[in-house]
Amino acid sequence: MKSTFRPRLLNGQTGDPALLLNLRWQGRALLVDLGRIDRTPAPVLLPIEAVFVSHTHMDHFMGFDQLLRIFLARDTTLRLYGPAGLADCVEGKLAGYTWNLTDEYAFTIEVTDIGERQTTGWRFAARRRFAREMVGPPRPFTGVVVADPVFTVEAAPLDHRIVSMAYAVTERTHLNVRTDVLAASGLRPGRWLNVLKDAVRAGAPPDTPIEVTPEDRRPLAALRDELLVVTPGQKVAYVVDTLFSPGNVAKVTRLAAGADVLFCEAPFLEEDLEQATRRYHLTAAQAGALARAAGVRRLQVFHFSPRYEGRYGEIIAEAQAEFAGQEPRYGGLERGRAALP
Ligand SMILES: [Zn+2]
Ligand SMILES: [Zn+2]
């Protein structure tokens, strides 16, 4: 399957968490977590329209300044989502600079604090020297934080002694063009293909006219049936900095269920289980067990502790072995009856 999201860890498996999701063909991108990103070229970061922050420990949030610097003179809105208190952290960051020359700037930051039962929106506009303003009344939180025509983003608050938010980004419907049929039909590829896809995704009526050229309008259904392959959307799940507790396991397996890929932290080896638990982090085996229980297709572990430098291969091997169910340490998790610490 051709993937719409092209997920990429900007700092690999060992650097700060920052997962870039490029939306193929759309010129749009999402970022999950905001660790240091100063080695990523600006053109890679500019398509980002929303950032989903797990929590504001430094290694997950220090990239904020870099993103701000790149976006400041742009006529755009950058949206940030994260656990309740994120807006306080953004406000604190912004208070660290002087904003007397930004009155003409159109750049705006919108922050959504995801609380237990409701989300609260805040706006920080450059032209108002980033003074904090509330955006409308709080809204009930039901698990979905973004419902875009192309994708949805769900969030689940996990226990890391503070909230560490896990996310799942799911493409609504995956639409591929049959390029061979298109070529044979003599129609020229163009923007109309995106118009067609958008209309199909939005559930537009079958007779909706699609303008292939100014002189050539055809009904949506005919073009869809001839040119598009419609398959279920791709799903990317993201879990970092969390304790392996019954509550967290239940939330992760629900959120990540059936994901095409789960990006999961694995900072510790199982041999250091005690330390992992004390620090509210997962071991590699626990990451593998979560992936298996959630029935994901692929597990990508990252956020390795530098203490294992030279042994990163062991972390990956431990996680993948548990994921594959080879002599599982956390057997039965998928049926909800594992022995949990
Ligand atoms: Zn971390
Ligand atoms: Zn943390």
d(CA 261, CA 256): 9
Tell me the CA–centroid distance for residue 58 and ligand 1, in Å. 8
d(CA 99, CA 108): 13
User: How far, CA to CA in Å, does 299 sit from each of 23, 164, 229, 260?
Assistant: 20, 19, 27, 9
Q: Is the ipTM of this complex over 0.95?
A: yes
Confidence of residue 334 (pLDDT cuts 50, 70, 90): low
pLDDT at 332 over 80: no
pLDDT at 10 over 60: yes
Taking Cα atoms as reference points, which of 294, 295, 299 lies closest to residue 284? 299
d(CA 188, CA 190): 6
Give residues whose Cβ lies within 5 Å of ion ligand 1. 59, 241
Percent of the chain at pLDDT > 70 equals 97
Q: Say which ligand is closest to the CA of 280.
A: 2
Inter-helix orientation angle 64-71/86-94, to 10°: 60
pLDDT tens track for 58-110:
999 999 999 999 999 999 999 999 999 999 999 999 999 999 998 999 999 99
Q: Say which ligand is closest to the CA of 57.
A: 2
300 or 175, which is more confident? 300
Tell me the CA–centroid distance for residue 12 and ligand 1, in Å. 14
Percent of the chain at pLDDT > 90 equals 87
pLDDT of res. 336: 54
Tell me the CA–centroid distance for residue 292 and ligand 1, in Å. 22
The domain ranges of the chain are 5-142, 173-231, 242-335
pLDDT at 338 over 90: no
pLDDT tens track for 262-278:
999 999 999 999 999 99
Tell me the CA–centroid distance for residue 120 and ligand 2, in Å. 23
d(CA 4, CA 174): 8
> To the nearest whole number, what is the mean pLDDT of the chain?
94
For 54, half-sphere exposure in the C-beta direction (CA atoms, 13 angstrom radius) is 29
Strand partners, 303: none
Please give the helix or strand (H or E) that residue 244 lies within, else none. none
d(CA 309, CA 312): 6
User: How far, CA to CA in Å, does 62 sit from each of 56, 129, 272?
Assistant: 8, 21, 27
Tell me the CA–centroid distance for residue 50 and ligand 2, in Å. 21
Give residues whose Cβ lies within 5 Å of ion ligand 2. 57, 241
Strands (E), the chain: 5-9, 19-23, 28-32, 48-52, 77-83, 108-114, 118-125, 132-140, 144-147, 151-159, 163-171, 173-177, 209-213, 216-219, 228-232, 235-239, 261-265, 299-302
pLDDT tens track for 212-242:
999 999 999 999 999 999 888 899 999 999 9
Looking at residues 281-286, what average pLDDT do you find? 98
pLDDT of res. 226: 94
Confidence of residue 172 (pLDDT cuts 50, 70, 90): confident
d(CA 18, CA 329): 29
**Does the domain formed by 242-335 have CATH 3.60.15.10?**
yes
d(CA 122, CA 153): 19
Q: What are phi and psi of 158, to 5 degrees?
A: -105, 165
pLDDT tens track for 14-55:
999 999 999 987 889 999 999 999 999 999 999 999 999 999
d(CA 296, CA 236): 9
User: What dihedral angle (degrees, nearest 10) is formed by the CA atoms of 323, 328, 332, 336?
Assistant: -60
Tell me the CA–centroid distance for residue 183 and ligand 1, in Å. 48
Q: Say which ligand is closest to the CA of 304.
A: 1
